[in-house]
Amino acid sequence: MEDVQYMQPLILQSMPDSDTVKLANAAKLLMEYEKRPAKADEFLDSQYSLSYKYGEERRICQFIFLTVLRNKLLIDTILAVFLKKTPRPKLFAVLKCACAEIVSAHENKIAQTVHSWVEVSKKICSAGESKLANAVLRKFSQEYSQMNSNAKTLEDFALLYSHPLWLAKSWQAQFGFEKAVRIMRKNQEPSEVFLRVQNTPQAKGEFQKYSEFLCESGFENFYAVKRGNFQNIKSFLDTPFAYIQDPATKFAPTLLNPQKSENILDLCAAPGGKSRMISDLVRQKNPDGFLSDTLLASVDLNSPRLEKLKQNLSKIDFLKTACIDCDIASENLQDKLEKSSLPTSFDAILLDAPCSNTGVLRRRPDARYRIEPKDISNCKALQIKILKNALPLLKKGGRLVYSTCSIDKSENEEAPQEAVKSLGGFKIEHMQTILPDVCDGAGIALIKRA
């Protein structure tokens, strides 16, 4: 996230209770979001974010804000029972934030949580509203406790974990009841921020300067940023040695297994994390010198993300790179490659296809409320189209790794199967769906040309 203007407190700066100020600012953050709904990550990058200068307050506000989003269906459903009419926006925001903290609090901390938010209501709402907040929050905590204890059916868990019922039913049909519940439960946990460190002696030396702010992730070369320490590792990200990346992103480049002296194509490449990982995998096998016979061409459509892709490619200085602006779904990539004096057939292609994002709902909690069943079928149709345009760019004997951040079988299995069947001359050698756990969910498939 960029450093942006500090959001002025909702209540007077002179108030001595700094914790109350932080909670009140969280309520203001939610109020502003509900005035102008947007993607949560874009909103938090906007003027309503808190500067890293106010790191602790920023962390608290964003935690509460994202916890409200993760529990939106649950909070709205229970509050509707106890509220005869919709409160004023200020009080409503306080109630929602308080409910989110109740849901995330340990059982023996719930009374303290209720007290803290009642104190906030006393500072920024009327006396009558404060009394209402006190009564509603106590009833909410009791109702939530009962729902949590008594949940048995898929419908119970879909509400408890704030997932649309159609999505819960889809996961149950694909993975069974227990895994569907486990996916929803995992999506309620705040996501870690992971850092991938280049596997070179120079990178490892630089890593030592920042190691106190990081901890092991269980995945080679990936580290979790300790909570509240993102600002402390920002300068590490300005080097070629580190990149913010979830461990799930490693599966596709690793399966691709890029080699020295190959022409490699990275499609739908922005913002560039997988391009950097591909290049690092090549360098790991060939640590010395400039690999002049190895090309990595990275492609994405013209958007603000393309500039980020160019910035990431600029940090790869040990093999040849190229950045191509192309919408592979609707434009002729072969023509654009020829015009740029680049090869038009490749040994290895990575296609990280546009998808429904059902594997990253933990990281994007608001996305679960936007997605509809038709979005998954639309994604599948687009994926097939892109695959049919990409596969002919493979050399004979070449390989393409198709990946998504979805966990839906229609995207991860049916899309590549249908694309390969329609073209002929290609064979799927491996398909896998990774369900969200320590890392995000994902799908990968390895396709080879005869």
Per-residue pLDDT of the chain (450 residues; tens, 9 = 90+): 222 233 333 332 333 456 788 888 899 999 989 988 888 888 887 744 445 556 677 788 889 999 999 999 999 999 999 999 999 999 999 999 999 999 999 999 999 999 999 999 999 999 999 999 999 999 999 999 999 999 999 999 999 999 999 999 999 999 999 999 999 999 999 989 999 999 999 999 999 999 999 999 999 999 999 988 988 999 999 999 999 999 999 999 999 999 999 999 999 999 999 999 999 999 999 988 899 999 999 999 999 899 999 999 999 999 999 999 999 999 999 999 999 999 999 999 999 999 999 999 999 999 999 999 999 999 999 999 999 999 999 999 999 999 999 999 999 999 999 999 999 999 999 999 999 999 999 999 999 998
Cα–Cα distance, 403 to 431 (Å, whole number): 10
Q: What's the pLDDT at 53? A: 56
pLDDT of residue 31: 92
Q: What is the reported pLDDT for 383?
A: 98
Question: CA nearest 267: which of 401, 442, 392?
Answer: 401
Q: What are phi and psi of 176, to 5 degrees?
A: 95, 165
SS3 state of residue 23: helix
pLDDT tens digit sequence for 158-178: 999 999 999 999 999 999 999
How much is the pLDDT for 93? 96
Helix or strand (DSSP H, E) at 292: strand 291-300
**Cross-sheet strand order for the sheet of 194-197:** 214-216, 222-225, 194-197, 242-244
Q: What's 18-150's CATH class?
A: mainly alpha
Output the pLDDT for position 373. 96
Q: What is the pLDDT of residue 44?
A: 83
Provide the pLDDT for residue 22. 82
**Encoded tokens for 163:** 């997932």
Cβ–Cβ under 8 Å, residues 186 and 437: yes
User: For 129, how many CA atoms within 13 A lie in the half-sphere containing its CB?
Assistant: 20
Residue partners of 406: CB distance under 8 A and separation at least 6: 355, 356, 357, 358, 359, 376, 379, 412, 441, 442, 443
Closest CA to 247 of 275, 271, 223, 279: 223
Tell me what pLDDT residue 51 has.
52
Quick one: CA dihedral 332, 335, 339, 342, positive or negative? positive
The architecture CATH gives domain 246-449: 3-Layer(aba) Sandwich (3.40)
Write out the residue limits of the CATH 1.10.940.10 domain(s) in the chain: 18-150
CB 98 within 8 A of CB 117: yes
How many whole angstroms separate alpha carbon 256 and alpha carbon 352? 12
For position 37, what pLDDT does the model report?
83
What is the reported pLDDT for 55?
66
CA 361 to chain centre: 7
Query: For 4-25, how does the pLDDT look when each residue is reduced to its tens digit (9 = 90+)?
Result: 233 333 332 333 456 788 888 8
Beta strands, E only, 115-156: none
Q: Where in the chain is the domain with CATH 3.40.50.150?
A: 246-449
